[in-house]
Amino acid sequence: RWLRADIVPIRAGLLREGARTEAVLLSFIDLTPQRRVEQMRVDFVANASHELRTPLASLSGFIETLQGPARNDANARERFLKIMGEQARRMSRLIDDLLSLSRIELNAHLRPEAAVDLVAVVSHVRDALAPLGRERDVEIVFEHPAGAVEVRGDRDELIRVFENLVENALKYGGSGGRVEITILRERTDALVTVRDHGPGIAPEHVPRLTERFYRVDTAHSREQGGTGLGLAIVKHIVARHRGKLGIESVPGTGSTFSVRLPSGPVEQKKKPV
Ligand code: ADP
């Protein structure tokens, strides 16, 4: 450890008694944490640039082809314009996600405190994603307690969390199955789980899923319109709400993503007198 380049001396001194040297004092500082943050920042910029450059290169290629060889080919023009539209949407999704991430990070210290009903939030998400469910032939099942399950937070951010989780379950959970969303009221928490019965995720990937741009299968994620930032955004929003994100997955069986949020103590039902 002492030989590593990140441990650098910052001060040296001698403790003297008359002409005799009693001790030599050396102070060191460990720059490892700063270097790690610096490295993460450099990697993030490199990854973001690479992710933006890929659709941009494809757009430039199609523009050149449309100006040259395919200039008079109406069929090719139609097809190429469709792909170009998809690439432009991909860039715009990525920019939206990058901006969301930096906004959430910037506000990480602020606690969103509005009263939000999780049942209403998840119902909204289920309705918004119902067309994708039908497209994938996946049934979305939603179970929740009667009445509202209230937490303190930001409604739009919480919608974002469950949109990401349910959309992932629909995208990666395989077609023709079921996605189950459950809300449970626990003593001082609310617990929302999103379960799919897809191929699951190998254990070595699970701890890294919330890293920015981490994907198990990059090509498959891109094909599904993924940016690789969804779970990083989820993690940050959940942390800002003093919550916990849990990921459990059994390859071949499916995955369960859970979000635990503090909801305050559940009112004890008064015993009838
Ligand atoms: P993406 O935009 O690629 O979907 P996410 O951050 O949302 O990015 O997810 C990261 C990766 O985690 C995905 O690319 C996918 O490989 C994996 N993943 C997420 N949810 C699931 C799931 N329900 N089943 C299997 N793999 C999943």
Is the CB of residue 216 below 6 angstroms from any atom belonging to ligand 1?
Answer: yes
Query: How many angstroms does the Cα of residue 123 sit away from the middle of ligand 1?
Result: 22
Query: What does the pLDDT look like over 30-58, one tens digit per residue?
Result: 888 888 888 888 999 999 999 999 999 99
Q: Is the pLDDT of residue 256 over 60?
A: yes
User: Which range (21-25, 182-186, 226-230) has the least confidence?
Assistant: 21-25
Give the atom of ligand 1 at the shortest distance from the alpha carbon of 165. Answer: 20
Q: Is the pLDDT of residue 268 over 90?
A: no
Is the CB of residue 230 below 6 angstroms from any atom belonging to ligand 1?
Answer: yes
pLDDT of residue 203: 96
1 vs 265, higher pLDDT: 265
SS3 of the chain: the string is CCCCCCEEEEEEEEEEECCEEEEEEEEEEECHHHHHHHHHHHHHHHHHHHHHHHHHHHHHHHHHHHHCCCCCCHHHHHHHHHHHHHHHHHHHHHHHHHHHHHHHHHCCCCCCCEEEEHHHHHHHHHHHHHHHHHHHCCEEEEECCCCCCEEEECHHHHHHHHHHHHHHHHHHCCCCCEEEEEEEECCCEEEEEEEECCCCCCCCCHHHCCCCCCCCCHHHHHHCCCCCCHHHHHHHHHHHCCCEEEEEEECCCEEEEEEEEECCCCCCCCCCC
Query: What does the pLDDT look like over 74-118, one tens digit per residue?
Result: 999 999 999 999 999 999 999 999 999 999 988 888 888 999 999
Highest mean predicted confidence (pLDDT) among 3-7, 135-139, 266-270: 135-139
Q: Is the pLDDT of residue 222 over 90?
A: no
pLDDT of residue 151: 96
**pTM score > 0.90 for this model?**
no
pLDDT category at 4 given cuts 50, 70, 90 is low
Query: How many angstroms does the Cα of residue 24 sit away from the middle of ligand 1?
Result: 55
- Which of 215, 217, 236, when mutated, tests ligand 1's pocket best, judged by the most ligand atoms within 8 Å of its CB? 215
pLDDT of residue 130: 97
Please state the rounded mean pLDDT for residues 202-231: 92
pLDDT of residue 271: 52
pLDDT of residue 46: 93
Query: What does the pLDDT look like over 165-180, one tens digit per residue?
Result: 999 999 999 888 899 9
Give the atom of ligand 1 at the shortest distance from the alpha carbon of 233. Answer: 6
Percent of the chain at pLDDT > 70 equals 95
pLDDT of residue 270: 52
Percent of the chain at pLDDT > 90 equals 70
Please state the rounded mean pLDDT for residues 213-228: 89
Q: Is the pLDDT of residue 162 over 90?
A: yes
Q: Is the pLDDT of residue 236 over 60?
A: yes
